[in-house]
Structure 1
Amino acid sequence: MRIATFNVNGINGRLPVLLRWLDEARPDVVCLQELKAPDGKFPAAAIEKAGYRAIWHGQPRWNGVAILAREGEPLETRRGLPGDPEDAQSRYLEAAVRGVLIGCLYVPNGNPAPGSKFDYKLRWLERLRAHARALLDAGAPVVLAGDYNVMPADIDVYKPERWQDDALFRSEVRAAFAALLADGWTDAIRTLHPEERIYTFWDYFRNAFGRDAGLRIDHLLLSPSIRDRLAAGGVDRTVRGFDKASDHAPAWIELAEPGIAPAADRRTTRRRKPKEG
């Protein structure tokens, strides 16, 4: 079972990129972020023609999340992160897919920091941790996938000394991410590649992608009941080089079927990348 997360940075403007990647990579489940489209503008027909059923939580101009499934239909279990009934931003969507609970999330950027946007980010991360603890208590197999807007460690950013005061790298947000892991969640990509510099985002400016001046801010966290099924994972970074691409590339994992132990030689194997664009 392949599960991927991809910040598309505008689903309608990047639809050809998304459809090309879906056709070449054929993930089983996809979490999308930053749709930048209201519910009525989600390209459901094109997604279905590509072989995927979808649920989505849109918002005009900003934010927006969606879950796609290649087999069956995502069964929605939650829309919006609990803990603040006045929060109207479309940043969390949850569904059951093939026996796994998928949480698709888009953490606030938080810049400029300090400030009100940074305070909102910290509160959002606190709410995420509270909900994540409830999911752990339930004991279900869960994957929390999305754009966390957090670089957890120095290895996750090309020049950490330049990012110390940024809302994606400040000590408060790294501590919040570390607290999630301490509660029992597993950072799947870092577990598979403990010492490798892997990025999921490259800015549009200053030839960041060409220089490989990237950040790892898109993560897939696994609950204890599913982490032993982790078989492989990586980033389809060539998607970042497609024409009119998002500034993110899809990150993905493979889970072995229940009761089947992952082959040892697959746990650090990276799947074939899509063709260059």
Structure 2
Amino acid sequence: MTPLQRALVEKAGNDHGFEYVLPANDHTVKLASARHRVQVCISAIDGQYTLSFTSPASTLLSAELARSLPALRRSADSFVAPDQVALTQVLRRAAELAHALPNQAVRDFEASLTQELTQLPEELKNTEVERLVRQRIGQQAFRSAMVDYWDGACAVTGIALSEVLRASHAKPWAACDSDTERLDVFNGFLLSANLDALFDRFLISFSDAGTLLLSPRITPDTQARLGLTQPLCLRWLAEEHQPYLNYHRNRFGALM
């Protein structure tokens, strides 16, 4: 790798979620971050960049990267970026997924919670105040992971106006058995406000194929007013969504 290529790779990493340069050999650049646990080793051959990722969820990360960037060529367990523009796209998306995929949201939640609880007066610990603090920080971590995973756009409509997007749980916060479930990015979808309100009340759900299911309680007139007359479908649906979606669909069916 030439000095210019090395400098360009390091800058691309710093600008797109991999701010640390780790020791490596003369032929590669190894990048990491203090904000997530994914590392990437990059080599340059004939103007192309080969990226190999390591993380606690390497298989899941690779699958999601392949889905997000279908035009990207794969070589064994690596991704090949044909130019500098593609290199930055891969690094940016990998960093987003690193923040979103299990269990980074749990780690972020625990770190933020520890910091905030140290500032909480002793008499308020183990009270309703602490419970509300936990819920607020957890919901913030969940929303952040959702925004990263869905690339800042509604999982159905693709609307990218952040002010109207909501992080919707499939298995509700109160029904979850652990913080791992509550903060799992696959436990729900990033939805526009009207879809979120319906999903939260089990008035809509999604099939195994991701198509929108409507409760008969939503009349044709209401469907038209809500913009639900056209067939709608999730932009994608991972296998890891299915257990939570099954829970939601059972609740949806029980209210029909």
Q: TM-score, normalised by structure 1?
A: 0.26
Looking at both structures, which has the greater relative contact order when contacts are Cα pairs under 8 Å and sequence separation is at least 6? 1
Q: Report the structure, 1 or 2, having the larger strand content.
A: 1
Q: TM-score, normalised by structure 2?
A: 0.27
